[in-house]
Structure 1
Amino acid sequence: MTAVDDKTVVREYFNATGFDRWRRIYGDGEVNKVQLDIRTGHQQTVDTVLSWLQADGNLAQLSVCDAGCGVGSLSIPLAEAGATVFASDISEKMVGEAKERSQATLGQSTNPTFAVQDLETLSGRYHTVICLDVLIHYPQDKAAAMISHLSSLAESRLILSFAPKTLAYSLLKKIGDFFPGPSKATRAYLHREAAVVKILESQGWTVQRNAMTKTSFYFSRLLEVTREKG
């Protein structure tokens, strides 16, 4: 499957069966045990990012790009905290849901600004660029190009999460591949942390903070990298 095919599959999935599934997972309604576990893990990742940015004490002065915003789980609280947020997602339905949730929380505020865009077409410059739980849709060779592009948008900080490629997680993924279902319609790519760090360092970044979120069905390595404005 080519990279273009992967992207098309992701877009179509999150505009169809995947949208209903992940809207429930990222919401607060009743879900099954596996979905609840994934919801918990994803929220832990979001909460970690929020805690990092709030600890710095300057959110109201920051411009933030939330690349792959989903239903706005991170974008909305960032805007609530005073950051100027540009949020995008490849899925039109996801963006529509994010807008509805934003209006329910923030009223008619124009912050965050939401757009339907894939990562490759993002442009602009932001103090901080954040991309959570998106690298899992990119094979390693395409991930390098995507990280490079996100780096070009970030002035001072980049925050990424990815599913780390270890022996245990590779085995878990293989087991999961034996049980396909209608809600599992996209490929899941694992990435070696050392390889991701090497890509980031080649772009002039230095790792400042890292965290690991691990539940029964959700695992994600979170990296915050910074560089001096140049």
Structure 2
Amino acid sequence: MNAADDKTIVREYFNSTGFDRWRRIYGDGEVNKVQLDIRNGHQQTVDTVIGWLKADKNLPELSICDAGCGVGSLSIPLAADGAKVYASDISEKMVSEGKDRALQTLGNAENPIFAVQDLESLSGSYHTVICLDVLIHYPQEKADEMISHLCSLAQSRIILSFAPKTCALSILKKIGSFFPGASKTTRAYLHREADVVKILESNGFAVQRQAFTKTRFYFSRLLEATRK
């Protein structure tokens, strides 16, 4: 199946059964043990990014593009800390949920600015471009294009997370344990860290910080790269 089909699958999934599942995971309500594990892993990744940005002590000065924002787990706290955030997602339902959560949390609908867009159609220029837990839905050749496009939008920095392709994780994925559960309807693609770094470097970026989040069912390599 080609990359265009992957994008259609992702859009339809997160506008239907996937939306209900991931809205619960990204919320604070009751979930099963696997979903709780994934929730905690994702939140660790989000917390790491927020920690990096806060450590630089210039958040109120930044314009940030949160590409693949989901329900706003990252966008909303960044806006609360003063950054100007543009949040986009391929799923209309995810964006609508993000707007509702922002209104409830921040009391306004002006920041973050939410929009329904896929990564390829994003435009503009931002100090920092962030894309968390999106690349897992796309094969390497499509990820190459996505990362390069996101780099073109970043004035200074890009932050990416992806499921790293290692022998251990490849085995887990092969036996169906990477994303368990009957509601799994999108494929999970693993990416070699060396390939991701090479794409960043070819677009004029150098890796500055990195982290790895590992829970029982959630695995994510996080890279921050700045323009050389």
Fold shared per TM-score above 0.5: yes
Amino acid at match of 2:7: K
Using a 3 Å threshold, how does the CA distance of structure 1 residues 37 and 94 change in structure 2: closer, same or farther? same
Counterpart-to-counterpart distance in 2, 1:141 and 1:42:
25
Q: Percent identity?
A: 79
SS of structure 1 residue aligned to 2:129: strand
Question: For residue 170 of structure 1, what is the aligned residue in structure 2?
Answer: 170
1:1-230 aligned at under 5 Å gives the runs: 1-176=1-176, 182-228=182-228
TM-score by length of 2: 0.98
Counterpart-to-counterpart distance in 2, 1:128 and 1:3:
26
Using a 3 Å threshold, how does the CA distance of structure 1 residues 180 and 35 change in structure 2: closer, same or farther? closer
Using a 3 Å threshold, how does the CA distance of structure 1 residues 178 and 57 change in structure 2: closer, same or farther? closer
Counterpart-to-counterpart distance in 2, 1:219 and 1:127:
27
Amino acid at match of 2:226: T
**Cα RMSD (Å) of the superposition?**
1.3
Counterpart-to-counterpart distance in 1, 2:69 and 2:179:
28
TM-score by length of 1: 0.97
Counterpart-to-counterpart distance in 2, 1:16 and 1:39:
19
Counterpart-to-counterpart distance in 1, 2:94 and 2:180:
23
The answer (yes or no) to whether the contact 2:63–2:126 under 8 Å persists in 1 is: yes
SS of structure 2 residue aligned to 1:164: coil
Structure 1: 4+ residue segments shifted above 2 A: 177-182
Using a 3 Å threshold, how does the CA distance of structure 1 residues 178 and 148 change in structure 2: closer, same or farther? closer
The answer (yes or no) to whether the contact 2:88–2:95 under 8 Å persists in 1 is: yes
1:176-220 CA-partner distances (Å, limit 9, x unpaired) = 179975410001100000111011111110100000000000000
1:163-185 CA-partner distances (Å, limit 9, x unpaired) = 00000000000111799754100
The answer (yes or no) to whether the contact 2:169–2:178 under 8 Å persists in 1 is: no
Amino acid at match of 1:160: L
Counterpart-to-counterpart distance in 2, 1:199 and 1:178:
25
> How many pairs were matched up?
228
